[in-house]
């Protein structure tokens, strides 16, 4: 099998992985109340917080129960606020849709990889700065940052492989150089 075909298959697989990640990440932004209830049950956070004792519950358990209560309260009193996370999901879906162009023709749409790398890189300062402003615990902000890191990996590899394609070296787009 020739080198270009191998590279194109890798690019297609990793771009597909990135698209699936975006869609799943977006889809999880919609049923927040259900997901938070499940997470609190799964981790056993509620009994830890409710249990009387000399030592307080772990910070992570207190945080999960606090977030659960806030989501439930907001859903009851201000259900329209969930519209913001619906739009967050929509943004993920639209970005995933844009990457369909990269799946079809990665050379012609090489700029999308640069765009994606920049967007993933910006997740980190965004989560750290705005999370701190909103009182989000550092460990939770690190989880948010991980989405950017995990997105950087396939996109960075795809960009590297694109540079190795013989067809890229004939007339490279400015965004890849």
Condensed to tens digits (0 to 9), the pLDDT of residues 131-149 reads 999 999 999 999 999 999 9
pLDDT of residue 22: 96
Which token pair is 73?
């309260």
Q: What angle do CA 126, 128, 133 make, to 5 degrees?
A: 95
Average pLDDT over residues 96-102: 96
**Alpha carbons 39 and 47: distance in angstroms, whole number:** 13
Residue 94 counted as domain residue: yes
Question: How many domains is the chain built from?
Answer: 1
Residue 151 confidence class, pLDDT cut points 50, 70, 90: very high
pLDDT of residue 166: 74
Residue 149 counted as domain residue: yes
Residue 57 counted as domain residue: yes
Condensed to tens digits (0 to 9), the pLDDT of residues 40-88 reads 999 999 999 998 888 899 999 999 999 999 999 999 999 999 999 999 9
Mean pLDDT of the chain, nearest integer: 93
**Alpha carbons 5 and 27: distance in angstroms, whole number:** 33
Residue 176 counted as domain residue: no
Express as a percent the part of the chain with pLDDT over 70.
Answer: 93
**Alpha carbons 14 and 153: distance in angstroms, whole number:** 9
Looking at per-residue confidence, does 40 or 177 come out higher? 40
Q: With a cut of 90, say whether residue 24 has pLDDT above it.
A: yes
Q: With a cut of 60, say whether residue 32 has pLDDT above it.
A: yes
**Alpha carbons 59 and 66: distance in angstroms, whole number:** 10
Q: With a cut of 80, say whether residue 97 has pLDDT above it.
A: yes
Q: Where on the phi/psi map is residue 135: left (φ > 0), alpha (ψ -120 to 50), or beta? A: left
What is the DSSP code (8-state) at residue 81?
G
Residue 175 counted as domain residue: no
Dihedral of alpha carbons 37, 59, 84, 28, sign: negative
pLDDT of residue 116: 97
Looking at per-residue confidence, does 150 or 54 come out higher? 150
> DSSP string spanning 104-145?
H-TTTTTHHHHHHHHHHHHHHHHHHHHHHHTT--HHHHHHHH
Looking at per-residue confidence, does 40 or 168 come out higher? 40
Which range of residues forms the domain containing residue 164? 3-170
pLDDT of residue 169: 62
Residue 13 counted as domain residue: yes
For the chain, how many helices (H) and strands (E)? Answer: 8, 0
Place of tokens 């409710």: 50
pLDDT of residue 30: 96
pLDDT of residue 67: 97
pLDDT of residue 53: 80
Q: For the stretch 122-137, what's the b/e string if a residue is b when 16 or more beta carbons lie within 10 angstroms of its beta carbon?
A: ebbeebbeebeeeebe
**Alpha carbons 140 and 128: distance in angstroms, whole number:** 10
């Amino acid at each position: 099998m020739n080198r270009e075909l191998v590279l194109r298959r890798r690019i297609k697989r990793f771009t597909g992985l990135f698209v699936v990640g975006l869609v799943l990440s977006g889809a999880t932004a919609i049923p927040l109340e259900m997901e938070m209830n499940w997470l609190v049950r799964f981790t056993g956070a509620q009994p830890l917080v409710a249990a009387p004792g000399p030592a307080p519950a772990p910070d992570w358990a207190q945080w999960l129960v606090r977030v659960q209560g806030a989501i439930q309260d907001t859903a009851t009193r201000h259900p329209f606020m969930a519209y913001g996370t619906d739009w967050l999901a929509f943004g993920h879906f639209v970005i995933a849709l844009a990457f369909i162009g990269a799946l079809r023709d990665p050379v012609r749409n090489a700029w999308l990889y640069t765009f994606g790398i920049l967007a993933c890189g910006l997740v980190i300062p965004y989560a750290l700065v705005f999370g701190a402003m909103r009182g989000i615990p550092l460990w939770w902000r690190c989880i948010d940052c991980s989405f950017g890191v995990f997105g950087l990996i396939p996109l960075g590899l795809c960009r590297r492989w694109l540079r190795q394609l013989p067809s890229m070296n004939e007339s490279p787009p400015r965004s890849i150089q």
